[in-house]
Structure 1
């Protein structure tokens, strides 16, 4: 029996169609064989495809969102990958609703231009929630995998701190050192006092010398 499950958010709706994989011991309510999927995004064309396309979408969007939460936004996916996710230049003042994330989908058909979709933060959050619901739903056992989570590089961690804040502590230390050195130069050194001349020792009177 064909199964169909939906995962919905405000601006995103994902539908998964498939069948149980009886050879893997799945129950009658579990999708183990994907027959198709469809995603409706508000203001964008409907996306659909096969298992490989869904896997590529998960492998690009979720790692991108993880770096975004860590305040280290960076592109995910190479030019040859079927799905790419990248940040758009930060919006100017007064344009906070401007899309700041771009999803690029490459078609497997020759001579077909990539499809580009732009999202703001709220739309990206809805997309991530839908994909997370799919990935964590026990009724969907498709074996979809994600790239392993890796810790941020030292350079990426430093970039999270604003440059002005990173330079404040060293600059304050140099200023304190310069002030301490200046005060030390202004304090006069104590003068050295001459020690009194030592008087010559008195000649001892020999007890064997008779008095005169």
Structure 2
């Protein structure tokens, strides 16, 4: 019996179709064999494809959103991967220099141009929620191999703080040290007072004793 599950948000709707994998011991309500999927995005064409495309979408969008939440946005997906995502600047909505997110999809069909979609923060959040609902749904056991969540590298954490802010504390310390040293050089040293010369010691002499 064919199963179909939907995950919906304000600007995104994901539908998964499949069958139970009886050889793996799945119940009658568990999708273990994917037969198709469809992703509807507001203002964008409907996306669909095979299992590999869905797994590539999960493997790129979720890590991208995680780095974005950590204030370390970075491109995800190699040039030859079927799904790529990167931060871009956009003037959408009349606001210049507004950050947007570009999703690039490479078709498996020859002589087909890549499809590029642009999202704002709200649309990306809806897409991430739908993909998270799919990933955490116990009724879907498709065994997606996703990259493990790992802590950020030290370099990525440092890059999250602007260079000017990172240099502010050392610069302030050096300035305080220089000002203290300058004031120290300007303060005159106390003059040494002349010590009066000590009078020569007089050795007392005993009086002469008259002869007897």
Q: Do they fold alike, i.e. is TM over 0.5?
A: yes
1:84 aligns with 2:84: yes
Q: Which residue of 2 aligns with 1:211?
A: 209
Pair 1:97–1:28, CA change in 2 (3 A): farther
Q: Which residue of 1 aligns with 2:24?
A: 24
Report the more deviating stretch, 145-154 or 134-143: 145-154
Pair 1:99–1:176, CA change in 2 (3 A): closer
Q: What is the alpha-carbon root mean square deviation over aligned residues?
A: 2.2
Report the more deviating stretch, 162-171 or 134-143: 162-171
1:66 and 1:145 map into 2 onto residues whose CA distance is: 17
1:134, distance to aligned residue in structure 2 (A): 0.1
Report the more deviating stretch, 110-119 or 171-180: 171-180
1:204, distance to aligned residue in structure 2 (A): 5.5
1:93, distance to aligned residue in structure 2 (A): 10
Q: Which residue of 2 aligns with 1:54?
A: 54
Aligned counterparts, 1:1-212, within 5 A: 1-89=1-89, 91=91, 94-95=94-95, 100-203=100-203, 205=205, 211-212=209-210
1:179, distance to aligned residue in structure 2 (A): 1.8
TM-score (norm 2): 0.90
Pair 1:8–1:173, CA change in 2 (3 A): same
Report the more deviating stretch, 79-88 or 172-181: 172-181
Pair 1:91–1:152, CA change in 2 (3 A): farther
Report the more deviating stretch, 95-104 or 182-191: 95-104
1:99, distance to aligned residue in structure 2 (A): 7.0
1:26 and 1:99 map into 2 onto residues whose CA distance is: 43
Q: Is the 8 A contact 2:90 2:97 kept in 1?
A: no
Q: Is the 8 A contact 1:99 1:119 kept in 2?
A: no
Q: How many residue pairs are counted as aligned between the two chains?
A: 210
1:167 and 1:91 map into 2 onto residues whose CA distance is: 32
1:42, distance to aligned residue in structure 2 (A): 1.1
2:62 and 2:14 map into 1 onto residues whose CA distance is: 15
What SS does the aligned partner of 1:35 have?
strand
1:182, distance to aligned residue in structure 2 (A): 1.8
Report the more deviating stretch, 98-107 or 85-94: 85-94
What SS does the aligned partner of 1:100 have?
strand
TM-score (norm 1): 0.90
Runs of at least 5 residues in structure 2 that lack an aligned partner in the other structure: none
